[in-house]
Every structure is written in C-alpha cells, then in structure tokens.
Structure 1
Amino acid sequence: MTFLRDISFLWSMLHIAALYLLLFAPRCSWRTTLICSSAGIGTLTVINMLLMARQGPVGIMHLAFFTCTIPSLLLFFLLSKHRDGRFFFLFCLTDTISFWLMQITNLMDRMAGNTYVVLFLSRLVLFPVVEFLLWRYLRRPYLELQEKLKKGWWLFTGVGGTYYLLLMVTAVPVDTPLPDAAGLLQVALVMLLMPLTYLTILHSLWRQMRMYENSRQMELQQRDYNAVCQKMELTQIYRHDMRHHLATLDELLQQGNSDGALQYVRTLNGGLESLTHPAECANSTINAILTAYIVQAADAGCSVDTKISLPEKLPFEETDLCVILANSLENAIHACRDLPGEQRQIRLEMELTENGRLIVSVENPCPRQVFFDSNGLPEVPKRENHGLGLPSIRATANKYGGLFRCQWETGRFILRVVLIPLEPAKPPVRRTGPLTYGILVLLLCLILLNCLPSLANALEEIPVLGTVVRVVDLRTYTLAWKDGVRSTPAEWNRIE
C-alpha cells in the first residue's frame, strides 16, 4: 500500500502551490504566472519524488526544507507583485497550513492502523475543502488587505516563520514511531495554537485596515464639511454686507451712472451665484452639505429632486450626517456621469419621524442590474479610493442601531438608511456577584463568632462543625499564660 503514501505526498505537493496561488498577487499576467509556476512546481515534484524513492519518507521529510521550501520560495518571489513582508507572510501562511494538514492526516492514519488508506482519502478531501473555504471567505478580503495595508507584515512574518520551524521540529514523519505522551502533547499544542494564532493575526490586520480606512474617510468628510461651512459663512457675510451694496447702487443711480450700476449688479451677482442656494430645511448642517453636493451634481449635468422635512435640531452628530449624505450623493452623481443627459436625475428624501428616527432615501438611475453580496453591498470591481462609501454609511447606521439597505428595482438604484437616536448614557449598574455575597457572609459569621463567645463555645461542641468553628475563632490562636500553664482563652473557659 506504499503507492497510496506516495500518491498522497504528490497530491500534497501540488496543493501547496494551489493554496499559495489562491491568495497570490502576481507580478505578471495570470497566464504567465500559471505557466511558470506549473513548470517550476512540476520540476520540484519530480525531484522530490525521486529523492523519496531513494531516501524514503523519513529522509525526504528531513530534506524538504532544502528540496521544496527554499526553491519554491525563490520561484514565487520572482513571480510575486509584493516583495516585502507581505510575500513572506503569505508564504509562511500557506506552507504551514499545508504541513498542518499533512500532519493531521498522518496522525489520523496512525490511529486507523497505519494502512495509508486514511492518509490518502483524508488528504484527497481536506485539501480541496480548505482551498474552497479560502476561495469563498478569505481570498477577496486578503487580496484587499495586501493592497491597502503595506506596513506591519514583518512582525507577523516572524510569527509564521516560528510556527513553520515548530511544525518541522515536532512533525512525525510517515513510517516513524510515534513519540511518547509528552511528545504527542507538544505536537497537539503546536497544532492547536497555529490556527488560533493565524486567525488572530488576520483579524488584527483586517481591523487595522478598516480603522485606517474609516479614519481617512472621516478626514475627507471633515474636510468637505469644513469647506461647506466656510462657504456658508461667506454667504452670511455677503448677506450682511448687502446694505452696503445697496447703498453703493443708490449712489451710482443718483449720479446717473446707470452703466456703472448695471456692471456693479453683474459683478455682485457673479460673486453670489456660486455661494447661494435655496435652503432645503431648517437644519444648517443639512443645508451646508446639500449646497456643496447639489452644486457638484449641477456641474455633472445632474438634477437633484429633494423632499426634506427636518427641524432645526437633530439628535445625531453632524459628522455622521455628513458621512451619509456626502457618500450617498457622491455615489449617485458618479453613477449618473455615463448616462444620457435626460436620465441624470437623482431623488433625495429625508424625514424625521415623530419618534425621532431619521429616514434617508437616495435614488439614482442604474440601467444595468446590480447584484449584492452576503453583506447587502453591491458586487462591483474593487478600485482605488472606491468602494468605501457604502461600508462607511453602513457603519454609521450600525452606530445608531439603525437600518441600512441597498436595492435595485427596474433601472433604479435605491439606498435607504434609518438612524435611531441613541439613548442617554446611563451610569453602569454594578451588580454584586455570588463571590462577593459569599465573602460578606463569611465575614459576618466571623464577627458573630468572635463577638459572642457563648455561641462559639456551643457550636464547637457539635461534631465536624466544631472543627470549622475553631478554625475561624480567633481565640484559638491567642496564646497566654495562666497559673503557669500556656493555653488559649478558649481552653480557660472550658477549664473554668
């Protein structure tokens, strides 16, 4: 049955490369990458199979670092787009996953009688299953992670390299005796800690990237918000100075200089044209944001139909409102740029309900059908500085425990957001746990026993309970001399 062992080894070698290519960012085209990697991995596989036939499975396990790991590392380093900590971490990740699977299947075969049948069948199934899971759940976020996050990889590479060495040291090759109980415990601990560590690393990297993107998005929104506020302030200054402009016009007309008055009016009108916009509602923040983006929409040839019913004060942070409106309107304007002029129509509705909930709805034309992923976000190609607006809106809705929904209906893309006012923060209620109650009861018993000697003496006469009472009775540990005899006050009472 040794041919099953050899086939399972060959199967594992091929899938080590497959696992790596799933998360790989190539330097060249995928066609060139697949041709070069297939040629290189095929050559290494043949060499390792010949060495295995000559040295045996134990010998090839000892030589694998030099005959498999180093050559494949050099091969993929030449083909990789990233030649820094990102490459080395990915190499350690895929290699350790592969060796982890090989070790697991080896131990399963040992427990089944070392017939190589379980070894072959388990590897035949586990490698494709792991590859499917990586493709389904990890590939897209990991590729995005590699593109967006360029620092902090070397530390995690060191962790991955350490686990690689641990697996190589603690591995139990095929056809070798199993170690003793202590050795098996070491193997089990390494096998358990490795996936937990990698999950922690990937989660940490993902959170770090999201925090960076959110902070950058907030900075951009804050900058736009500040610019809008400056425009609004400048508009107020123009309105405040209007009486001076009217006085100037009156003087020009009194002098009979109608041409000068007309030119002054035209100059004044041109200065106000880019600053003024009819107020949409009583809230100044909403007006400021809409002023900026309605002007952008007009520049792009889009018309914005608004239906807004909002009071002057809203129970939400101004920056959060800016995130929702700015991102949604910017996406709608961007979607309309490639459409004919008569179709560039955006509809915005905002309403504050009686129970304080803010409902925002943005619609824009979208002739092509949109498909959504499991998170309810549109499945669109990832591009630089794109694809962050909707996740930012969703994060804002989640902050207020609200609702976020995207949908496509008959050529229209609809975004709806509902914000729920946050309840005032209540002081945390400190609940007393059972341990605290136990300690208080013990202290109360201690006080009663030591303040009521007669109660303590009565309880000490009870079997079993008396032993416990004497332990907590402080008189037991108070030594003194009486009539030349060293004894305790409790003994004095019993003698008397």
Structure 2
Amino acid sequence: MMDYVRSSLSFIFAISVMYTLLDCEIKYNRNRYLFGLYVAIMVICNGFLLHHLGYITFMKFYPLLVHVPVFFAFMFISKFKPIKVFFVLWTLIVISTLFSLVGLVISYSFGSGKEIANIISYILYLPTYFLIYKYIRPPFLYMLHNTDKGWLGFSMIPISYSVLVYSIGMYNIDAVIDRINVKYGVLLLIIVFSAYFLILRFFKQTKEQLTLQNEQNLLQTQVAAAQVHFEALEESQEKTMIYRHDMRHHLNLINYYLMDNNKVAAQKYITEVEKAIEGAAVEKYCSNYTVNLILSSYITKARNEQITVETRIDLPENNVVSDMDLCVIFSNAIENAINACKGIHDANERTLKIVSRINNNKLCIQITNSYDSTVLFVDDMPVSSEENHGLGTKSIAAVVQKYGGVYSFSAVDRIFKANIIL
C-alpha cells in the first residue's frame, strides 16, 4: 500500500509541476475533463499494475508505463515544441527521484527506516512545488518562449542522471542506496543540483541578453516610429505652408470671378480649394496628437494601396502607456497589415480594421487584416523567413511585457488578428 501511495503522489506531483512549467492552459471544459480523466485512468492503471507485478517489477517498466504516456499527453496540450516538453519531462523525472534519494540519505544517516524516508519525501512535495513555481518557473518559461536552440544539450543532463539511477536500481531508489554508499548518494545529489544551478544561471544570463536585445530592437523601432511621426508632421506643415503661400492667389482669382459676376466658376473653384486643403490636413482619428499623426500617415499609405480601412479608435490624450510605445504598437501592427494586404491580388478583398477602446481602465487594441499567404507560428508568435522581417511583432510583445499586459496573434479563415491589452 505504501508503495502505491508513494508512486501515486510522485506521479500527481510530476503532472502538476509539468503543467506549471509548461504554462499549459486548457481552454474548454470538455478538454479539461478529458485530461483529468486521462490522469485518473493512468493512476488507476498504474495502481493495478503495481499490485499485480510488484513494486520491483513495476519500477523496471516505469519509463514505458509512465514517462511515455505523460510525454504524449503534454505534447498535445502544450504549446511548445516536443523537444522542450522532452526537457521538462526529464527534469521532472530528476526532481521526483531526488525526493526519494534525499529522504533515504537522511534516514540512513540517522539510522531510520524506509518508512521515515517515505514520510520525508512526502513532506518535501509542497515546499518544493512552491520553490519551483517562484524561482524556477519564471526563467524556464522565458527560455521556453524565447529560445529554440540547445534544448537537446540541456536534456542530456537529466537523461544522464536518470540512466545512471535506472541502471543501478531500475528506479528502485531503495536498491540504489543499498548498492552505493550514502556518501556517493550525497555526491550524486550535489552533482545534479550543481548542474541545474548552472542551467538556471545560463537561463538567467540568456534572459538578460535577450532582454537587452529586445530593448535595443524596441529602441530602433521607436526611432523608426519617431521618424514616421516627424515625416508626417513635416509633410503636413509643408503642405500647409504651400497653401498659405498660394492663398493670396486663390483669393484674387475668386475675387475676379465675383467681379465678373461668374458665381458658378467661383463656387467651383472654392470647392476645389477646400478639397485640396482637406487633403493637406491631418485627419483626426483620436485625441492623442502623436498617435494620430502615425495613424494618419499609415492609413493614407493603406488607402493608396487600395485597402479598405475601417477605424473605431477611442484613445484619450493622456495614457499610462507612453506616446512612443503606442506608436511602436500601432506602426508595427498596421505596417504588417498593409504588407499582408498588398499580397492579395483582388483589391476588393484587401481590408484593414483598427479598433481601440478603454475597457475597465485597460487599453484594448485590435488590428485585423485580410491576407492571402501562409502564416507560420512558433510558440504563438508569427514568424517570417525573410531577413529583417518578423521584428515588428517582437517589438509589440516587448512593449506589452513592459507594461505587464497581454497580447495574442491569430490567423483564421484568411483573417489575421492582433489583440493587445495594456
């Protein structure tokens, strides 16, 4: 009975930690019930096999009976690549066996029985989960989201440890301790902890480097957004200066028409001048002056590409988000949308919709566009195979993370959506 309790607790703990480290999110209740049922069936089946095969035989087949089903389950519900799920699984195998190893080392050191070792293992579950959630989960998630290389190399550390433990005692930790001296067990613990300390330190350093790189990319994007801002402002001012300069000539011509009693020609000319002046003015889309200039510039470009533009923008003049960061979001998202629409052969199908509103003191932005190509996603982020492309969405993500917001990108039925909440 004690063996079944130990095996079940270890399995449930591993499932819980994997779910946490992989940041799994099962959206639909039906899928949640199915996953819970899957876990329950595995616990029951393992208990049945443990009872009929015995603990020693059961542990010989433990990788096949437990590791493989768990891997495939999380491969389907996780949003990460299989190699990343593979690394997290082997990490959990190490953590699970370490509980028993620590308990047995302590019990043997004080001359206690194996029951005390089991109790020590059970006590370690809760504080270990807390430590994993607070200190290990953040760097793990950052690396899982931002790094695609080196995971096979990382996996070799927990694999080597697990193969060593399995070769000595077939995952029967009691046999491992019986066959090796306690001091070697302590040494094994130190080696494993040191290896993971180095991995986490590497994760931290990589995170700092990637953060610095993101800040540099964000700065470059901000400079580009500022350049667009000033170009739009300069263009508007230049047109205004031209029309101010020409206004005297316009008024003189209108005066001549009126003196000649040619009211029709005067009205026609006034209408033409009004249209020209309206074309020179910056159209107002929102109350934020800087963002409005960016929107005016990009929407004009979109319409020049025969893109049907729809806007519903409620953006107050003063925001928690800086004007420059808002420009980064809007300029990158709209520029990507314009580029996607340009690839559509039929101009009637080119659509761009920009929606922004304040909801529960949160700024919600949704930019939707049509597209006619294949959109590739890696870890829920759209990617591009072209050089220097795909940085726009990363810049948007960097801004959102800066304010602790939420973002998502989706491409369904030839409609691409960028949703941002700040």
TM range (shorter): 0.5 to 0.7
Taking a change above 3 Å as real, the CA distance of residues 220 and 159 of structure 1, as seen in their structure-2 partners, is: farther
Match of 2:317 among 289, 297, 304: 304
Taking a change above 3 Å as real, the CA distance of residues 193 and 61 of structure 1, as seen in their structure-2 partners, is: farther
Taking a change above 3 Å as real, the CA distance of residues 226 and 46 of structure 1, as seen in their structure-2 partners, is: farther
Taking a change above 3 Å as real, the CA distance of residues 154 and 128 of structure 1, as seen in their structure-2 partners, is: same
1:401-416 to structure 2, matched below 5 A, reads none
CA drift of 1:389 comes to 3.3
Moved over 6 A (4+): 293-296, 327-330, 383-387
> Which position in structure 2 is the counterpart of 1:355?
none
Residue identity in the other structure for 2:357: R
* Between structures 1 and 2, the one with greater helix share: 2
Using the alignment, how far apart are the partners of 1:338 and 1:322 within structure 2?
16
Deviations 1:244-302 (A, max 9, x none): 5225414523542523441243023212321799xx9xxxxx97567547999x96245
Match of 2:48 among 37, 46, 49: 46
> Which position in structure 2 is the counterpart of 1:467?
none
Using the alignment, how far apart are the partners of 2:317 and 2:322 within structure 1?
18
Structure 1 residue 156 corresponds to structure 2 residue 126: no
CA drift of 1:94 comes to 1.4
Runs of 5+ unmatched residues, structure 2: 258-264, 300-310, 332-353, 364-379, 382-392, 405-421
Q: State whether residues 327 and 390 of structure 1, in contact with CA within 8 Å, keep that contact through their aligned partners in structure 2.
A: no
Using the alignment, how far apart are the partners of 2:284 and 2:80 within structure 1?
50
SS at 2:116's partner residue?
Answer: helix
Using the alignment, how far apart are the partners of 2:50 and 2:70 within structure 1?
12
If asked which structure has higher relative contact order (CA below 8 Å, sep 6+), I would say 2
Q: State whether residues 109 and 119 of structure 1, in contact with CA within 8 Å, keep that contact through their aligned partners in structure 2.
A: yes
Using the alignment, how far apart are the partners of 2:276 and 2:76 within structure 1?
64
Q: State whether residues 291 and 326 of structure 2, in contact with CA within 8 Å, keep that contact through their aligned partners in structure 1.
A: yes
Runs of 5+ unmatched residues, structure 1: 281-285, 307-319, 340-364, 369-382, 395-414, 416-496
Greater Rg, structure 1 or structure 2? Answer: 1
How many residues get paired?
326
CA drift of 1:63 comes to 4.4
> Which position in structure 1 is the counterpart of 2:243?
242
Using the alignment, how far apart are the partners of 2:318 and 2:53 within structure 1?
74
> Which position in structure 2 is the counterpart of 1:409?
none
1:18-57 to structure 2, matched below 5 A, reads 18-24=16-22, 25=24, 29-53=31-55, 56=56
SS at 2:317's partner residue?
Answer: strand
TM-score norm. by structure 2 comes to: 0.60
SS at 2:173's partner residue?
Answer: coil
Deviations 1:122-147 (A, max 9, x none): 11111122223334555577557645
Deviations 1:17-51 (A, max 9, x none): 33223334367822211211221243134324543
Moved more, 119-128 or 60-69: 60-69
Moved more, 60-69 or 320-329: 320-329
SS at 1:304's partner residue?
Answer: coil
> Which position in structure 2 is the counterpart of 1:392?
402
CA drift of 1:99 comes to 1.6
Using the alignment, how far apart are the partners of 2:234 and 2:6 within structure 1?
73
SS at 2:54's partner residue?
Answer: helix
Q: State whether residues 112 and 118 of structure 1, in contact with CA within 8 Å, keep that contact through their aligned partners in structure 2.
A: no
> Which position in structure 1 is the counterpart of 2:196?
195
Deviations 1:389-439 (A, max 9, x none): 365369xxxxxxxxxxxxxxxxxxxx9xxxxxxxxxxxxxxxxxxxxxxxx
Q: State whether residues 142 and 207 of structure 2, in contact with CA within 8 Å, keep that contact through their aligned partners in structure 1.
A: no
CA drift of 1:89 comes to 1.5
